[in-house]
Each structure stands twice: as C-alpha cells, then as structure tokens.
Amino acid sequence: MASLVVEGAVLLGRQTKNQLPRILGAVYISKRNVSIEPASMKRGTGGRSSFSGIVATVFGASGFVGRYVCNRLGKIGSQVIIPYRADPYEVERLRLVGDLGQVLFFPFNLKDEESIATAMKYSNVVVNLIGREWETKNFNFTDVHVEGAQRIARIARESGVEKLVHFSSLNASPTPQHIYSKAGSKFLRSKYEGELAVREEFPGAIIFRPADIYGSEDTFLRYYANFWRRARSTSIPLWKKGEATIKQPVFVGDVAEGVIQAIKNPDAVGKTFEIVGPEQYYLSDLVDYFYRVMRFRKMKRTRISPLFLRTTNIKHI
C-alpha cells in the first residue's frame, strides 16, 4: 500500500493565507502496513462487535477443535476466513461465531496452491488444524500431515502472514514406540515429519502437540461410549487391559483458549507446546469410570489378542 510521507510541517492556528509556510516536499513510498503484534491494532471493548486486530484463516475449521477455535476468535472480535472442501452446509453454521460479515467462507483443495493462497491473502494469522486418523485412497498421512502442512506453511510465509499455528500430536516422533506393529505408528511418524516440514518453511511457526481432547462431540469419550452401543457386548478390548496406558486428557475449550493466547503472545513465536490436562489417569481407570457413569456395570475390560490384530489388519497404529 502506498503511503504519503511529508517532509516538513504546517503550523496550525489563526494565520493569514500568506503566513502559511510551504510544504517542503512529498514522496510516495511502497510500504505494507503490518504489525508484529496483531492485538496492538484492536478497537472497541473486546467483544464480538469489536476488532481484535486478528484476521485469521482457519484450515480444518469444520473439525472438532476447529469449531471451538473459530468460536473463541469470533468472541473477541476477529475476522475469520474458513476454507472448506466439503458441503458448504457443513460449515455454514459457523457463521454465527462472529459478528455480521466477520466470518467468511472459501472453497479450497489442499493440493491446490492457488486456492490456499487466496484463502490467506488478507490474513495476518493462519491456524492449520487439518489432520486425519486414517488413510484414504485420495489422501494418505503424508499428503495431509507432511506435504499439505508444508504447502500451507510455505504459502503463509510468501503471503506475509505474521503468525502460524500448526497442530501436531503428542508423542510425535521419528521412531514411535512399537506397540501393535513392528514399524511403530505411521500416524505419529507423519506428524513429526510434518513438524520438520513446517519449521523449514516457516521457522517462527507455533506448534501445538495436544494430548487426547475431550468435549462435546469429541472422538475420545464417545469412542468408548459408542463401543457398547455398536457392539452390544459386555467386554471391550484394550492393550494390556488399559493398565499400561496413561492418558492426560485436556478440555477442548482450554486448547482453543491456548491458541488465542499463543497468537497474542510474541514470546510464543517459534516454540513447540505440549498441550495436556492437569491430571494423569490410567486408561483402565478412565474406562471403568465412563461405564460406571453410563451405568454399564457389566462391561469388562479384556486384553487385545493376536487374533484381534490379525483380523483387523492393523498397519499404522
């Protein structure tokens, strides 16, 4: 954007026409007005009708965590751009998270660089929540967690985006622990490779490694609740009956609030955060508690057998 720089000054007050001094000169320079701290441009009292200084593009907004992140952004008066690739009615309900005209939608494809660049053209913040727990013929783990994340990070840097928040996973590692398969978790390995790719393209990226996230419509609590409804069984198979697995679940609202604080805090740039809850639990205790609350008192935990692994053909867990 061109801005006018005036070399000189004009004295204001009661003066005659002949007493006004001349402007010494003026020159136009090309300059993009950006702020290192988006919150410094905020206007209003801080509610949804204010402007927080944040113009955020949220990839993966239709997912479980994405809905809460968009809600928190809209609540503080941010403008939110939501790229989507599915039915537009799946994301249309997110229009209500912000004030009138502050939530915009744009169709995109993760493999189409032009649509990605257009979605973040006017944004100073990008949040990448795209991820999947299983592979498909169109998108495998590498396509989504590595190449897709790298593509978003590179285009964000080229577009002049100030803050990039990338979601990885707790326990992401180049050599995941061998549990079900000898090669370890392909999911966790791809998440780690995605972190490296994002760091290479956008060194100042803020990386979140969340633990199991619980909340309304989650895939953590509901998985165990729906197991009984689907199978109508009195037993649930768990690795070593869940007695060797430790969970530290975190509430989805706290994760969304953490994203907002990371965006506002200049000290968060370039750091990796492991997002966990305040307490640790054995999975066996959690499952027993779930079914006790749901009054499924006959539900029992059983060990996962080699027959189970062979019949399910698990390759990437």
CATH number at residue 98: 3.40.50.720
What pLDDT shows up at residue 75? 94
More confident of the two residues 177 and 210: 210
Report the distance separating Cα 175 and Cα 188, nearest Å.
9
For residue 256, being part of any structural domain is answered with yes
The pLDDT of residue 297 is 67
pLDDT (tens digit, 9 = 90+) per residue, 67-115? 999 999 999 999 999 999 988 888 999 999 999 999 999 999 999 999 9
31-35, 153-157, 207-211: segment of lowest average pLDDT: 31-35
The reported pLDDT for the residue numbered 229 is: 66
Which segments within the chain are labelled E, that is strand? Answer: 2-7, 25-30, 55-59, 79-84, 103-107, 125-128, 163-167, 206-210, 213-214, 235-238, 246-247, 250-251, 272-275, 281-282, 300-303
Phi and psi at 162, nearest 5°, equal: -85, -45
Q: How far is CA 192 from the centre of its chain?
A: 16
- Burial degree of 252 (CB within 10 A; 0-12, 13-18, 19+): buried
Start-to-end C-alpha separation, the chain: 50
Q: Please check whether residue 114 lies inside any domain of the structure.
A: yes
The verdict on residue 196 lying in a domain is yes
Please report the pLDDT score of residue 88 as a whole number.
Answer: 87
For residue 245, count CB atoms less than 10 angstroms from its CB and return exposed for 0-12, middle for 13-18, buried for 19 or more: middle
Q: Does any domain span residue 36?
A: no
In a domain, 127, yes or no: yes
| Cα 299 to Cα 304: distance, rounded to the nearest angstrom | 15
Q: Band of the pLDDT at 49, cuts 50, 70, 90?
A: confident
Range of 262's domain?
Answer: 45-214+250-278
- CA torsion 5-11-16-19 (nearest 10°) is -80
Query: pTM for this structure?
Result: 0.81
According to the model, what pLDDT value does residue 159 have?
94
- Torsion sign over Cα 303, 308, 312, 314: positive
Q: Where are the alpha helices (DSSP H) in 36-93?
A: 64-75, 89-92
Which residues share a beta bridge with 28?
Answer: 4
297 contacts 231 by C-beta, under 8 angstroms: no
Residue 30 is predicted with a pLDDT of 42
Interior angle at CA 205, CA 258 and CA 77, nearest 5 = 45
Residue 165, domain member (yes or no): yes
From the list 78, 71, 69, the residue with the least C-alpha distance to 41 is 78
pLDDT at 34 over 80: no
pLDDT of residue 183: 73
- The total number of structural domains in the chain stands at 1
With respect to residue 6, please indicate whether it lies within any of the assigned structural domains.
no
Q: Is residue 239 part of a domain?
A: no
Check residues 47 and 151 and name the one with the higher pLDDT. Answer: 151
